[in-house]
Chains A and B, each alone.
Chain A
Amino acid sequence: MSDEPATEPVISEPVISLRGVRAELGSRTVLRGIDLSVHRGEVVALLGANGSGKSTAIRSVIGQVPVSDGAIEIFGTPRARFSDWKRVGYVPQRTTAAGGVPATVTEVVASGRLSRARFGILRKADHEAVRRALALVGMADRAKDSVNALSGGQHQRVLIARALACEPELLIMDEPMAGVDLASQEVLAETLRKQVGEGTTVLLVLHELGPLEPLIDRAVVLRDGCVLHDGPPPKAVGQHALPGHDHVHPHAAPGAEPVRTGLLS
């Protein structure tokens, strides 16, 4: 593959590209050759049951999980050489934004601005960006409160504000809706809608489509570390619109070329 002459980057050069990515956690193989690409302005949801490898896939993109085979590129740069982190906002899977010492909402969100601040010195523009990020998730009035005093949904809103503080072109989110009350889910969906409206590319792990469903352009469903479905988000009725639901879809045996649909759209 690497022997091919490098083609000129076209308009739809993928923002994230995974080719044949394999990864092990301890002795367990979690990813068995994942192919995945996310193009500029796309909103892609990674779905799958617990243990299907969707979180590991995302964590391999940000370099938290070492990859044993395959290639990952971010903005066209191999991941190992990628250093332009200010273009990427990341929301890890967390139930809390708190550490061992009290910290205010502003202090936590400001750490998301470090990728744009030289030597960790925050200037006026940086403080304004932090305020804007807090306003985006509707937490501006809680800016000076301790994160320990927040509800689960508010913690998640703080974590998303932290990712937005660097004004990223690409948002990577690991289950941003887990443990979030309905009111906060709506706020988060609205925040995301605005970001997508401004052209932000989004890759997110979801357990269920929920209130984000209208935003999602493409869904990639994983099972046992393989891509099972890559195409329009699974449309189903009522509560059965969940990815954990048995998904009848013809697909090849594990390890073979994954079924790829809808990539040309």
Chain B
Amino acid sequence: MELLNYAFMQRALLAAVLVGITAPAIGIYLVQRRQALMGDGIGHVAMTGVGLGFLLSWSPVWMATLVSVLGAVLMELIRWYGRTRGDIALAMLFYGGMAGGVMFINLAPTGSNANLTSYLFGSLSTVSQSDVTAICLLAAFVVLVTIGLRRQLFAVSQDEEFARVTGLPVRALNLLTAVTAAVTVTVAMRVVGLLLVSALMVVPVAAAQQLSRSFAATFAVAVAIGVTVTLSGTVTSYYQDVPPGATIVLLTIAAFLLLTALAAPLARRRARVLEHAGGDPAECVIPETGKETGRATVPAGRASRNGTEGIGA
């Protein structure tokens, strides 16, 4: 493994593992609440952060974190109060964010569209030491939230109305989900890029669903797929000189197709096992005809009660 001798590859591989863990970990809650494209929206908004970072000579990673967190909170507020006009407000936020990014980076003395491209599609050689520090800290936050609060986030994402009646702070948890998704976007930004990050949040979860029946198993399999594709994508990108973000996303889709192909025979086998078990006996109760014939020998009142029980029980 000579690629481990290069410091930039060590950093890139570390970042790749962290992306492989964090993106599906928060993505599963977004898929569960049917907001699979939220990551994409946050990615657009984060571009303004990158542009501002260059313009103000700040760290683009931290600036992107700040701006995308603000954007995610704004999106959540629009979801509460926007109602009918909500989707139009979101569209303005997304494209405004993208346009702002292009504008700021061109205004910046050191910036150019070439810089922006490395943030849009990911780049291994440009992951700096300070980027790695930032990515580690942010990833730790994402893992802590998505695993530590898994039961609360599961309940809120599964059924918001019910979660409110269990006394959970639904709004705070929604905001936390949005903020965590925003943080994940900036974690993944250097490796897969802002425009492709949403794929890594959604596709591993979709692939894991093909095999799993439980939420816990879906979570574990999605993270395993995430780490596998980010690592193999990064290594492939090193040897073949192809862009890492695109390689990782294509590998993820390949994993999805593979698992879908595997899932069909598995589902058939499960269905057979279920058939053998006989299903739920309560589903089809046929009233016994024996009671009908016995009616003549028992008192009338008792017979009719038996009759109704036969149908209902």
Residues of A in contact with B (beta carbons under 8 Å apart): 59, 62-64, 83, 85-86, 88, 90, 92, 94, 97, 99-104, 107-108, 110-112, 114-115, 117, 120, 122, 138, 142, 144-146, 149, 151, 153-154, 162, 166, 172, 181-184, 186-187, 211
Cα–Cα, bound, A145→B214 (Å):
8
9 residue pairs A–B, Cβ–Cβ below 8 Å:
A88-B165, A108-B158, A111-B151, A111-B155, A120-B152, A144-B213, A149-B213, A149-B274, A154-B280
Contact partner of A62 (CB less than 8 A), chosen from B159, B164, B205, B213, is B164
Report the minimum CB–CB distance from B27 to chain A (whole Å).
10
Contacts A111-B154, A183-B282, A183-B284; A90 near B312 (Cβ below 8 A): no
What A residues does B154 contact at CB under 8 A? Answer: 103, 107, 111
Given A101-B28, A101-B215, residue A64 in contact with residue B158 (CB < 8 A): no
- Which residue of A64, A99, A149 contacts B32 across the interface (Cβ within 8 Å)? A99
Hey, which chain B residues are within 8 Å of A114, CB to CB? 151-152, 155, 163, 166-168
Given contacts A99-B159, A183-B282, A183-B283, is CB(A64)–CB(B164) below 8 Å? yes
B212 interfacial contact with A, CB 8 Å:
yes
Q: Which listed residue, A99, A102, A110, A186, touches B213 by the CB 8 Å rule?
A: A102
- Cβ-defined contact, A111 with B165, below 8 A: no
Q: Are A101 and B166 also in contact (CB < 8 A) when A92-B161, A122-B151, A183-B285 are?
A: no
B157 is an interface residue with CB less than 8 A from chain A:
yes
Nearest to A189 among chain B residues (CB) is B312
- Contact residue among B28, B213, B312 (Cβ-Cβ distance under 8 Å from A145): B213
Chain A residues whose CB sits within 8 angstroms of the CB of B300 once the complex forms: none
- Not counting A99-B158, A101-B28, A153-B283, a sample of 7 additional A-B residue pairs whose C-beta atoms are within 8 angstroms of each other reads A90-B165, A112-B166, A114-B151, A115-B167, A146-B213, A181-B283, A184-B282
Q: Which one of A85, A100, A115 has the greatest number of beta carbons of chain B within 10 Å?
A: A100
Q: Is the CB of B312 within 8 A of A182?
A: yes
Q: In the complex, are the beta carbons of A104 and B33 less than 8 A apart?
A: no
> Is residue B216 within 8 Å, beta carbon to beta carbon, of the partner chain?
yes
Within the complex, which residue of A102, A111, A186 is in contact with B166, where a contact is CB–CB below 8 Å? A111
Contacts of A187 in B (CB 8 A): 282
A85 with B166: CB separation less than 8 A: yes
The number of chain B residues with a CB under 8 A from chain A is: 40
Residues on the B chain within 8 Å of A83, using CB: 167
Interface residues of B (CB under 8 A from A): 28, 31-34, 36, 149-152, 154-155, 157-159, 161-168, 205, 209, 212-216, 218, 274, 280, 282-285, 311-313
Report chain B residues within 8 Å CB of A183: 282-285
Task: Tell me, in angstroms, the Cα distance from A117 to B155 when the chains sit together.
Answer: 13
Asked if A101 and B282 sit within 8 Å, CB to CB, the answer is no
Report whether over half of chain B's contact residues are helix, strand or loop; otherwise say mixed: helix
Contact in complex: B158, A186 (CB < 8 Å): no
How many angstroms between the C-alpha atoms of A90 and B166 in the bound complex?
8
A92 to B155 alpha-carbon distance, docked (Å): 14
Contact call B216/A107, Cβ cutoff below 8 A:
yes
Q: Assuming the A-B contacts A107-B214, A107-B215, A111-B155, are A186 and B313 also in contact, with contact meaning beta carbons closer than 8 angstroms in the complex?
A: yes
Nearest-CB residue, chain A, relative to B284:
A183
Q: Complex Cα distance A211/B313, Å?
A: 12
Chain A: which residue is nearest B311 at the CB level? A182
CA A85 to CA B31, docked complex, whole Å? 28
| Alpha-carbon distance A187/B91, docked complex (angstroms) | 48
Asked if B312 and A104 make an inter-chain contact with CB atoms under 8 angstroms apart, the answer reads no
Which of the residues A63, A92, A142, A151 comes within 8 Å of B159, measured between beta carbons? Answer: A92
The answer to whether B165 touches A102, judged by C-beta atoms less than 8 angstroms apart, is no
* Given A62-B164, A111-B166, A138-B282, residue A100 in contact with residue B159 (CB < 8 A): no
8 nearest A-B residue pairs (beta carbon): A85-B167, A111-B155, A146-B213, A90-B165, A120-B151, A115-B166, A101-B32, A103-B215
Q: Given A88-B165, A138-B282, A184-B282, check contact A102 B149 (CB 8 Å).
A: no
Closest chain A CB from B11 CB (angstroms): 33
Inter-chain contacts of B165 with A (CB < 8 A): 62, 85, 88, 90, 115, 172
Picked from B34, B150, B215, the residue with its CB within 8 Å of the CB of A102 is B215
Query: Are the CB atoms of B163 and A101 closer together than 8 Å?
Result: no
Docked pose: A49 CA to B33 CA in angstroms: 31
B contact residues around A97 at 8 Å (CB): 159
- Closest chain B residue to A151, Cβ basis: B283
CA distance A243 to B94 in the complex (A): 49
Residue of chain B at shortest CB distance from A91 = B162
Residues of chain A contacted by B161 (CB below 8 angstroms): 59, 62, 64, 92
- Is A101 touching B149 in the complex (CB atoms < 8 A)? no
